[in-house]
Amino acid sequence: MKNKGILLVLGTAVISGVSIFINQFGVKVVNPYIFTGFKNVVVVLFLVGIILLMKEFKNFRKLQRRDWLRLLLIGVIGGGIPFLMFFKGLSMSTGPEASYIHKFLFIFIAILAPVFLKEKLKWHYLIGLVFLLIGSVLLFQVNGSLSWGKGDALILGATLLWAIENMISKRTIKTISPRIVAWGRMAFGSLVIMIFWAITGQAASLLTLNLSQIGWVLLTALLLCGYVLTWYSGLKYIPLTYAAGILALGAPITSLLQLIQGKVFVAEQIWGISLMFLGMIIFVTIDKFGSDYFKGKLCLH
């Protein structure tokens, strides 16, 4: 089951890297609040269809009051408020920079998970995290300069909320289907965003979207649907700290996609990408083979 979890979260990392790259174009042509809210509503519809196909709709009737409260909390601090913060920040920042800040999620989780989830940080997790951290810093460094703005602060705040939401979600998927947890995040999160639309008088902007803008929404909604499905399904089988470390690979993937736009990497960034991939290899291979090796269970004859 652990292998299944690893593959699912690797898929999440790829989707994340591609999604950050594409979202930077979408938020430039659509109001960021309308963009994220409309996209989330579309994802809810996708998830309802998937839940029906998986014949899990009956499981909603089994949910108790505390389960609904958890889903509501996951939606508010995972699918609502941080999305508004993130996409507003993304519209003010750059794709790779935003990806870097968001991928600091693994640091926040590495600090919080041992405290709140009692997850043990194995020695190779720590080594992998160090490589990821050093690689991230090098990747983000452009000619030794570091840029920081209001957009980056919003993205950082959103990332902190997502770290907290993931703690709650990790506990929740022990008793509730990952697909229903994903639905809760997106459904209640969408409700928060629609309330924000009503308060700020932006709901009418939906009627002004053209086909091109709707196309960006649908494309990014498809990616987001894939993200939440693979992430929560993978999280069911592996520790949150481990999953967050693998998810950090989204940052170099986003940066590599910048080659399409003619981006040129400096030496530090190349080293950064290499170290991040090395960190992931340490996470996956040593976790799979290392423990048995050091216990003398692998026979190398």
Q: What pLDDT score was predicted for residue 296?
A: 46
Rounded to whole angstroms, how far apart are CA atoms 23 and 279?
Answer: 26
Angle made by CA atoms 221, 257, 287, in degrees to the nearest 5? 85
Query: Per mean pLDDT, which range of 20-34, 176-190, 227-241 is the poorest?
Result: 20-34
Q: Which residues pair with 142 in a beta bridge?
A: 145
Query: Does pLDDT of 145 surpass 80?
Result: no
Single-letter code of the amino acid located at 16: S
- Tokens coding 264: 């040129």
pLDDT digits (tens, 9 = 90+) for 253-285: 887 887 877 777 778 878 888 888 888 787 777
Query: Does pLDDT of 11 surpass 90?
Result: yes
- Tokens coding 232: 């929560």
Confidence category of residue 52, pLDDT binned at 50, 70, 90: very high
Q: What pLDDT score was predicted for residue 286?
A: 64
Query: Per mean pLDDT, which range of 4-13, 114-123, 284-293 is the poorest?
Result: 284-293
Q: What pLDDT score was predicted for residue 169?
A: 95
In terms of pLDDT, which residue wins out, 205 or 295?
205
Contact 135, 275 (CB under 8 A): yes
Confidence category of residue 17, pLDDT binned at 50, 70, 90: confident
Which of 73-87, 169-183, 233-247, 259-273 is the most confident on average? 169-183
Q: What Rg value do the Cα atoms of the chain yield, rounded?
A: 19
Q: What pLDDT score was predicted for residue 245?
A: 84
- Tokens coding 119: 């997850």
Q: What pLDDT score was predicted for residue 106?
A: 83
In terms of pLDDT, which residue wins out, 96 or 228?
228
Average pLDDT across the chain, whole number: 83
Global confidence as pTM: 0.83
Q: What pLDDT score was predicted for residue 298?
A: 41
- CA dihedral angle for residue 117, residue 166, residue 239, residue 107, rounded to 10 degrees: -90
Confidence category of residue 297, pLDDT binned at 50, 70, 90: very low
Which residues have C-beta within 8 Å of that of residue 267, sequence separation ≥ 6?
A: none
Q: What pLDDT score was predicted for residue 103?
A: 66
Local structure of 197: helix, strand or coil: helix
- Tokens coding 212: 């091109």
In terms of pLDDT, which residue wins out, 175 or 121?
175
As a residue count, the chain comes to 301
Helices (DSSP H) in 201-239: which residue ranges?
A: 211-235
How is 27-78 classified by DSSP, letter by letter? HHHS-HHHHHHHHHHHHHHHHHHHHHHTT-GGGGGG--HHHHHHHHHHIIII
